[in-house]
Amino acid sequence: MLIGCLTLTSVLYACQKSFLEKAPLGSLDESTLASKAGVEGLLIGAYSQLNGFGGANGGFYSTPSNWAFGGVASDDAYKGSDAGDQSVEANPIENHTVTSTNSPVASKWAAMYDGIARTNSTIRVLALATDISEVDAKNILGQARFLRGLYHFELKKIFNMVPYVDETITYGAGNYKVPNDKDIWSNIQADFQFAADNLPATFPEAGRANQWAAKSYLAKTLMFQKKFAEAKVVLDDVITNGVNTKGIKYALVPKFADNFNAETENNSESVFQVQYSVNDGSGGNKSAWGDVLNFPYNNGSNDMPGGCCGFYQPTQNLVNAYRVDAAGLPFLTTFNDVSLKSDQGLKSTDAFTPSTEPVDSRLDYTAGRRGIPYLDWGPHPGQKWTRDQSNGGPYSPLKNVYYKRQEKSLTDASFWTNGVVASNYSMIRFADVLLWSAEAEVEVGSLEKARTLVNLVRARAANPASWVPGSPATYSVGLYASFPSQDVARTAVRFERRLELAMEGHRFFDLVRWGVAATTLNAYIAKEKSLRQYLQSATFVAGKSEYFPIPQGEIDQSQVDGVPTLTQNPGY
């Protein structure tokens, strides 16, 4: 009896030993979940990893927006904040001095392979379940392979040479230390092709991947491989026939800003969105919490969004890209010769009048600048909302920011800051598809078709319904009358991608796949050195800086008989 066990040490030890050495009553493995409910639960878990939750740094760097790897690493954004905040983590990403022990790199790697593990568990257990119809099984397998392709795609574009892990690779089988000695584009392409061939067009739930999301990712995979003619066929199909999971035909929404508003998400432009929710009992963990740093900084303002933390500030280079000529067209090659007027160096109490130089209307839904209405928060006050202008410049991020009317209803009221929002992140939106198609048309020589597609995107920006209400800015967006050569067309399409998709985490990867990252970013750095002292040591090294290093911890753990299975990327 228990009292006897408390009497003597020897008896106590015997009682504890007897208790701990009881034979196991059963075992828990994947087969335990081999039912429709279990498989669906595993699939939902695979979807849930899309938000990058977990990992080092709270997962700020594994978020699907790729604000650091796709934005800060490019000419779109500064790290922002002040010099010391996240200096070890984010500064090396911005100045291209990342090492293999950088924690954001490890965080992204771990989060994506966690997602892959979840998809593979779903596939293995699906094969064991006996209560799932053939139709449902096909749908589940299509979604799982879509997600597996997506997670590998994220790894491929960031690290390049990465292991492809399918459902046959498990710890128990002893084959889990997979080398990264093969290019995995064909594996990714096969996953998306399977999903495209087997998924339905609609689902009751908006967040699931349908056949058109799979075809769009298939086209993206082909674009990254420069298979333009093949991509064009898929893109034509998506543009002509594609619908979102609600069955709504793909089309640009009339208002550009509706792509970044929690009240208007899962709309006709939504090809595939990561679904976020708030005030659901999760403490903000189902929200866009990985972007919580990327709000204006509170320097004494009582009425502002987020309350933290001043990261991910648009660059002067990006803002300059929105300047337009008398015809409302961008300065494709000379945009950065002149800087748009800003309040750099001014206090919020100093007088300032915004520039009336004509600009593309998308600027003021992309970068917050002083004197221009900032959603429904009133005019941006300038320095009061920027942590350190000398470090991160005068501009604030905007596309991830919520409206004042949404605070604590579409932001999580239980989180330590209001900057965790329910606004979904679009991994692909229809404007992206149109511009891929324009790019493919240029590369196959169909310049007129490319011009038509670019003008579709520009026409929305030209429509006053898409402009910032009450703005003192002068907006002017013209349409291209012609593309006189393939070189001009290529430059125009690539420039349009930047204007349309800026601060959405795509820019760095575009520069790399176009093969212009070294030229573009070294030219950017050369001018930025005069504006940002911390970029004095920045240099983009061709043949190295296009990809991030394989995390050293992963290489160390990959050893078999003392020899690493994983090989480090060149230059690291």
Whole-angstrom distance, CA of residue 239 vs CA of residue 426:
17
Q: Residue 156's CB: how many other CB atoms inside 10 A?
A: 22
Helices 430-444 and 228-241, packing angle to 10 deg: 140
Q: How confident is the model at residue 54 (pLDDT cuts 50, 70, 90)?
A: low
- Residue in the block written with tokens 């790199």: 105
Domain 30-199+536-572 classification at class level: mainly alpha
Report pLDDT digits (tens) over 403-418: 999 999 999 998 888 8
pLDDT tops 50 at residue 283: yes
- Average confidence (pLDDT) over 448-477: 98
Half-sphere exposure of 8 toward its Cβ, with a 13 Å CA cutoff? Answer: 3
Amino acid (1-letter code) at residue 289: W
Angle made by CA atoms 197, 200, 205, in degrees to the nearest 5: 140
The pair of three-digit structure tokens given for residue 572, joined into one six-digit string = 């690291």
Amino acid (1-letter code) at residue 116: I
- Residue in the block written with tokens 């090659």: 333
Q: How confident is the model at residue 185 (pLDDT cuts 50, 70, 90)?
A: very high
Residue 59's pLDDT is what? 76
Report pLDDT digits (tens) over 327-356: 999 999 999 999 999 999 999 999 999 999
Choice between 87 and 267, residue whose per-residue pLDDT is larger: 267
* Domain ranges within the chain, ordered by starting residue: 30-199+536-572
Report pLDDT digits (tens) over 96-123: 999 999 999 999 999 999 999 999 999 9
Residue 30's pLDDT is what? 83
Report pLDDT digits (tens) over 67-93: 999 999 999 999 999 988 888 999 999
pLDDT tops 50 at residue 233: yes
Choice between 284 and 178, residue whose per-residue pLDDT is larger: 178
| DSSP code at position 5 | H
Does this model's pTM top 0.75? My answer is: yes
Residue 87's pLDDT is what? 86
- The DSSP H or E segment spanning 77 is strand 77-80
pLDDT tops 60 at residue 324: yes
Choice between 85 and 175, residue whose per-residue pLDDT is larger: 85
Report pLDDT digits (tens) over 505-542: 999 999 999 999 999 999 999 999 888 888 988 999 99
- Average confidence (pLDDT) over 227-252: 97
Preceding amide of 309 cis, omega within 30: yes
Q: Residue 374's CB: how many other CB atoms inside 10 A?
A: 25
Average per-residue pLDDT in the chain?
A: 92
CB 385 within 8 A of CB 301: yes
Residue 11's pLDDT is what? 29
Residue 303's pLDDT is what? 87
pLDDT tops 70 at residue 291: yes
CB 274 within 8 A of CB 51: yes
Residue 397's pLDDT is what? 97
Report pLDDT digits (tens) over 419-456: 889 999 999 999 999 999 999 999 999 999 999 999 99
Choice between 167 and 289, residue whose per-residue pLDDT is larger: 167
pLDDT tops 50 at residue 10: no
Residue 299's pLDDT is what? 80
Residues 6+ apart with CB under 8 A from 102: 89, 92, 93, 548, 549, 551
